[in-house]
Copies of this chain bind each other. A is one copy, B any other.
């Protein structure tokens, strides 16, 4: 779970292998932000990271392998959920976090490059879906707590509520265009909270 923890059980955290991995992944991020997935090249990443080219080829093999490891690392470093005591407050905190990430010039460019790469490459798509799976699972308990407090009906699909908060932000970011402003984040959270409360994310036959 550490920022540069390497492969659990195989590498001493903070050791040389972990340091090389951290440097290579940061270099891969830089290259993706500057040139996109199509411009990503293992030799260039090794040069930027001041790592041995042989090491990089041996450890990551391909550009897709490197990107999959970057997404794994991003999942490990992702920000833990906030619990405010109300579904509305928790979803608003999540929406703010998503908005800040996508609106940040570096992070936004990185996510755009990764999502574009996933659109054309199966292995990257699978790694991207795992990344979002981890992120959604981190936040889903805020909906489970809300169900326990009676703020949403039993059987509510917690993961779908969390995805519903992110969806309008990603839609504007990738598809519709326009500013990733706070109003968008606030509305996304409120819409998901209202719909969850109304039972939209619960099976129709739940009492």
A interface, CB within 8 angstroms of B: 36, 38, 112-113, 115-120, 125-126, 128-129, 132-133, 136, 160, 163-164, 166-168, 170-172, 174-178, 187, 190-192, 194-195, 198, 200-201
Contacts and interface: CB of A to CB of B under 8 A. Distances in A.
15 contacts: A112-B120, A113-B120, A116-B120, A128-B177, A160-B187, A163-B168, A163-B176, A166-B171, A167-B168, A167-B170, A170-B171, A174-B175, A191-B192, A191-B200, A194-B200
Q: DSSP majority for the A interface?
A: helix
Contacts of A163: 168, 171-172, 176
A174 B115 contact: yes
Nearest to A112: B119
A116 B112 CA distance: 8
Closest 10 CB pairs of A and B: A129-B177, A191-B195, A167-B171, A167-B167, A116-B119, A116-B116, A112-B119, A167-B168, A194-B198, A36-B120
Contacts of A115: 116, 119, 174-175
B120 A177 contact: no
A174 B194 CA distance: 25
Nearest to A39: B120
Contact of A177 (B116, B132, B164, B167): B132
Given A195-B194, A198-B194, A125 B187 contact: no
Contacts of A166: 171, 175
A195 B194 CA distance: 6
Instruction: Give the one of A125, A163, A164, A171 with max B CB within 10 A.
Output: A171
A175 B119 contact: no
